[in-house]
Structure 1
Amino acid sequence: MGARESLLTLQTQLGESVIGQSAMVERLLLGLLADGHLLVEGLPGLAKTRAIKSLSNHLDAKFSRIQFTPDLLPADITGSEVYFSEGGKGEFRFQAGPLFANLVLADEVNRSPAKVQAALLEAMEERQVTVGGTTHKLPPLFLVMATQNPIEQEGTYPLPEAQMDRFLMHVSVGYPQGDAEAKIVRLARAEEAAEGKAKAAGGSRLAADAVFAARAEVHGIEVGEAVERYIVALVQATRDPKALDPDLASWIQVGVSPRGAIGLDKVARAHAWLHGATFVTPENVQAVVHDVFRHRLILSYEAHAAQVSADAVIERLVQKVAVA
């Protein structure tokens, strides 16, 4: 079985256990293929946690879950130096924390204090943590899926812009449709009846090497000059919106960073590969631009006052920026 067939099988398996959230499942796979981290936002109970736990059930990878709370300390996630005494001699040894896993669920990440955010930021960006002056490398396969509830809810705080920019995609999760919700109820009933038995699908789990092989194929996806110019034009339009549209100029306070251009290129290539193409088209770019730009745009007071969302701004950008 080839790399793409393996990933499509994985997508099907995830779709069977995460019902009604096909877009989130696809974004999770795109993050895996593009080697980037995901920020998933939605109300409680919308299968955010279930999605990455299901991925860990079908992927031969270590999974860990961190519940972020206001009293969390950096050492609680990175690990710490622990004193061991044996045979009359003592020494400090590094005890790895839950960040040392392949798939990390940072649950309700916007409830954590600034020091914990800084520790997570180093892990996400540098793929390492530093404890006691010593740097410890994280595994080659390392994906953080951070979930957050909408900031209007009590006890939550907006993430710093610097950390938001480190997430490859910001995925917004909504309620499932009625027919999907009926399937969710039936699935929950079946799992309840099967309690105590293996819930994951039978068969072998996908090896990490299959993910690395898929990434190598994604790297080979061609991005033509016209598509490259289109990506750059979308990014540049967020920084100089008055050249396109007066409404955009009043809505956007700060545009997308260069990480946005890099991220859009990576995710568009992964999207093209996952859909069986050998090159990126403007349609691939448009399919993922909302998730790549959503958390990188800083909207103005006028936009908030007019209740204009980041998605509405991005949609206007797509309409106004000509395909090269």
Structure 2
Amino acid sequence: MQTTDMNEQRLKQMYDNSQEIFSILFNEIGKVIVGQKSVVEQMIISILCDGHALVESNPGLGKTLTISTISKCMDLSFNRIQCTPDLMPADITGTNIIDETEGIKKFKFEHGPIFANIVLADEINRASPKTQSALLESMQEKQVTSGNKTFILDKPFFVLATQNPIEMEGTFPLPEAQLDRFLLKIQVDYPSFEDEIEIINRYTLIDTPEVRSIISKSDIFYLQRLTREVPISEELKNKVIKIVSTTRSWKEHIEYGASPRASIGLILASKAHALINGRNYVSEEDIKKMAYPILRHRIVLTFESERKGISSEQIISELIKKIN
């Protein structure tokens, strides 16, 4: 009973200080990452929703640096996996090795890089389907099975996978069913002229910026709970369901629509967006903002739409207008 009271007290304390916590967190990340506020915000939203994110951009835009900086600021262990066609499932999950102690040989499980709080799967579309499946199984079950033993992954556990939209030769695109397991698809754009000047000024000096830990693992669990407690009206819930269900019926532009997982994701992400931006309720703006990263990887456009050069972003924009 006393532990429950302490938890509730800590939860209230986190709620009262949440705006200050997020402000300090974003400022600390900003010491290393120039601009890209929306990208950083969406990565934090993914963590608050206990989901995974797919990050897409051209090379050299700081995806790895952003993710590793967030892990340092949130006091989370971090591992990076460079995906290549010859990468095997055991290279990710780990494998049994023979360990000899005092002349006695026995099998010992050697943990792979998947055993971390934040795992960066760099260029996931370069890994073979078999290896992708091993990674996605860990994402879904949050555990690794080797032989007859099961190893639970440390919590919190997040996979942030990146893919490069160019140089598609020799890649293995993720099937739609596997894409659906990612809560968000985050797109990273080139920096503005002013931001690029700041990047050059900051990273051509002898001393590169360093960051400190702002929140602990236990704080993340409280923030995840606070996210789920943000209220949303029945009217906005219905709007979310209408947006997602329309992706299944708008056959003029969309071949395959989004599953109910998208409805859950859009409501959760909207709650996290509201919490980060200092609101104690979900607004229509939260839903409009989060509809793009939630839906852009979950809808498959018709051949005719692709032939005309219509993008997923345009379809989502039209979809939001249509529901309004």
TM bin (shorter chain): over 0.9
Q: Does 1:100 align with 2:115?
A: yes
Equivalents in 2 of 1:69, 1:172: separation in Å?
22
Partner Cα separation in structure 1 for residue 247 and residue 130 of structure 2: 31
CA RMSD of aligned residues (A): 1.4
Partner of residue 272, structure 1:
274
The residue number in structure 1 matching 2:8 is none
Moved more, 59-68 or 149-158: 149-158
Q: Aligned residue for 1:263? A: 265
1:42 matches 2:62: no
How far apart are the structure 1 equivalents of 2:140 and 2:23? 28
**Which of 220, 235, 239 pairs up with 2:244?**
235
Instruction: Tell me if the contact between 2:52 and 2:160 (Cα under 8 Å) persists in the aligned partners.
Output: yes
Paired AA for residue 79 in structure 1: G
1:1-324 equivalent positions in 2, closer than 5 A: 2-150=17-165, 153-190=168-205, 193-194=206-207, 199-202=209-212, 204-241=213-250, 249-322=251-324
Mark the CA change 1:238 to 1:302 in structure 2 (over 3 Å): closer, same or farther.
same
Q: Distance in 2 between matches of 1:303 and 1:14?
A: 39
- The whole-number CA distance in structure 1 between the counterparts of 2:30 and 2:321 is 31
CA–CA separation in structure 1 for the residues paired with 2:185 and 2:153:
23
Residues 47 and 173 from structure 1, CA distance in 2 versus in 1: closer, same or farther, beyond 3 angstroms?
Answer: same
Residue 250 of structure 1: SS of its match in structure 2? coil
Q: TM-score, normalised by structure 1?
A: 0.92
Q: CA deviation at 1:53?
A: 1.0
- The CA distance in 1 between the partners of 2:22 and 2:217, in whole Å, is 11
Post-superposition offset of 1:16: 2.7
TM-score (norm. length: structure 2): 0.92
SS of the aligned residue for 1:290 comes to helix
Check 1:4–1:95 CA distance in 2 against 1; reply closer, same or farther (3 A cut): farther
Unaligned runs of 5+ in 2: 1-13
- Shift in Å, 1:152: 5.1
Residues 81-90 or 219-228, more deviating: 81-90
User: Distance between the aligned counterparts of 1:6 and 1:182, measured in 2?
Assistant: 29
Q: Is the 8 A contact 2:117 2:157 kept in 1?
A: yes
Return the alpha-carbon distance in structure 1 between the equivalents of residues 111 and 238 of structure 2: 44
Alpha carbons 1:33, 1:211 under 8 Å: kept: yes
What whole-Å deviation, never above 9, does each CA across 1:231-289 have from its counterpart, x for those lacking one?
A: 00001110112xxxxxxx32100000111111101100000111111111111100110
Structure 1 residue runs of 5 or longer lacking an equivalent are 242-248
Q: Secondary structure of 1:253's partner? A: strand
After TM superposition, the runs of 4+ consecutive aligned structure 1 residues lying more than 4 A away are: none
Kept in 2, the 8 Å contact 1:15–1:25? The answer is no
Report the Cα distance in structure 2 between the residues aligned to 1:154 and 1:184, rounded to whole angstroms: 31
CA distance in 2: counterparts of 1:221 and 1:272, whole angstroms: 8
CA contact 2:58–2:166 (8 Å) conserved in 1: no
Amino acid corresponding to residue 138 of structure 1 in structure 2:
L
Contact between 1:151 and 1:157, CA under 8 Å: does it hold in 2?
no
- The alpha-carbon distance between structure 1 residues 255 and 152, as it changes in their structure 2 partners (threshold 3 A), is farther
- CA contact 2:31–2:210 (8 Å) conserved in 1: no
Q: Is the 8 A contact 2:248 2:258 kept in 1?
A: yes
Q: What is the distance in 2 between the residues matched to 1:103 and 1:4?
A: 24
When the two structures are aligned, how many residues end up with a matched partner?
309
Report the Cα distance in structure 1 between the residues aligned to 2:226 and 2:19, rounded to whole angstroms.
Answer: 9
